[in-house]
Amino acid sequence: MTGPSPRAAVVTSLASTLSRAVALGDEVAARVVHEALGRLLGLPVAPEG
């Protein structure tokens, strides 16, 4: 059995970082990581505001 793909490993890492940012109340970091996850997954970027 093979391990997770490199992309899956990055998604896992970013998800963990997002959780920490939210737990710490760091809205800017959470927003940046959220956008990175969306781009990595190919989702459209929502307008800021």
Q: Is 37 within a domain?
A: yes
Q: Is 18 within a domain?
A: yes
Q: Is 1 within a domain?
A: no
Q: Is 14 within a domain?
A: yes
Handedness of CA 40, 41, 45, 49 (dihedral sign): negative
- pLDDT confidence of residue 42: 86
DSSP 19: H
Q: Is 46 within a domain?
A: no
- pLDDT confidence of residue 2: 78
Q: Is 2 within a domain?
A: no
Q: Is 36 within a domain?
A: yes
Give the count of domains, the chain.
1
Residue range 1-49, pLDDT digits in tens: 677 888 889 999 999 999 999 999 999 999 999 999 999 888 666 666 6
Q: Is 15 within a domain?
A: yes
DSSP 25: T
Residues 36 and 14 sit within 8 Å (Cβ to Cβ): yes
